[in-house]
Structure 1
């Protein structure tokens, strides 16, 4: 075990496998179904407002997204939305829940390599059953020493998780595509925070790059993670 880092945390959605792209495709279908009632931009604004309101009720994930679409459809049509549209929205959500997992470039190689030298933990938020399904289909499950599916990611989340699977945040690193959820709270906990931009990021996950943290790094993709660790631990 290297003297430096002991535990490496990985985000799941849009870090190890594609996720947001499926939301965007479903959202486009949503706009087509409601095109006779409102324009696309207004619909997307109303949907985002509904998602914000509903996070405390439904949490993160596809099921909350489905319910927010249905709620928005009812609102923008003044409760006149056809049952056939509701049925199509439900079918779209069910398709998302059954969609095959597509690993991102270098994901398997990175996880496999780090599993040989470090304790690695999957730290993800979202629907429990859906996240378990994706992990099982990804083929990566056996590499992880622990899996934490949480309702939200906060400084306390990383303090607790890195203490459970190692010596605490001081000897830990979190890797993910969300500055807001994966990087900033991990840095605040005292861990390294590594940002890998995905290109498609949900509006509610946007945040400004952190300043004043010596342990902040940014990578292009997971293919750079082994070299980064060599630099950090040298």
Structure 2
């Protein structure tokens, strides 16, 4: 018999609040700036390649995204990209870092509903300052018993966090929109994994659905989460 969970951990970006839509808008701006040098589809593919290549250097987040755009612009223009374009890309990144938080539907209600009955954690990747800013603006910070901003989400990451904050992975649930980062490594660590799809999830975060796994669940919106957790 599976033990009841005592800890519920949430991903942040595109689970509790919007994030990827701002990256998409900036990519559209990037394509317009480079339209005289590259086909939009080719530019998108080369940017994704640069982002993947640079994750080990810059990690996840807006700053790495901007640096990857600048690198891609240099590549497709053979180092002839106008300085004005580089300046606009930097400005676009700064706008993203200033953008106000928009909570996703049911996010606040789901977190509040579980706050009295479970230990709540926020486990997110990305730039430290930016994630701290977004959490502060979200108004949800006081509801979490712990906040972990990590460089990546792996099986070892989840094992360590759930051991330090609770009763281990076997008594924990990880909730998020990324199969690759939120669900699969959490399942591997022995936790439950609850997948809440978001229509704009970055392609890097896609993964194979672990059909048949006894600790995997999928819900269409966060409003269904409290009842799901109580059913375990």
TM-score (norm 1): 0.97
Partner of 2:53: 53
Q: CA RMSD of the aligned region, Å?
A: 0.8
Which structure 1 segments of 5+ residues have no match? none
Aligned residues: 230
Partner of 1:163: 163
Partner of 1:141: 141
Partner of 2:109: 109
Tell me how far apart the structure 2 counterparts of residues 62 and 68 of structure 1 sit (CA, whole Å).
10
Partner of 1:84: 84
TM-superposed deviation, 1:211: 3.5
Confirm or deny that 1:33 pairs with 2:33: yes
Q: Secondary structure at the match of 1:124?
A: strand
TM-superposed deviation, 1:95: 0.2
Deviations 1:15-55 (A, max 9, x none): 00000000000000000000000110000011011001100
Partner of 1:62: 62
Tell me how far apart the structure 1 counterparts of residues 4 and 216 of structure 2 sit (CA, whole Å).
16
Q: Which runs of 4+ in 1 moved over 2 A?
A: none
Q: Secondary structure at the match of 1:123?
A: strand
Partner of 1:200: 200
TM-superposed deviation, 1:213: 1.5
TM-score (norm 2): 0.98
Q: Secondary structure at the match of 1:17?
A: coil
Which structure 2 segments of 5+ residues have no match? none
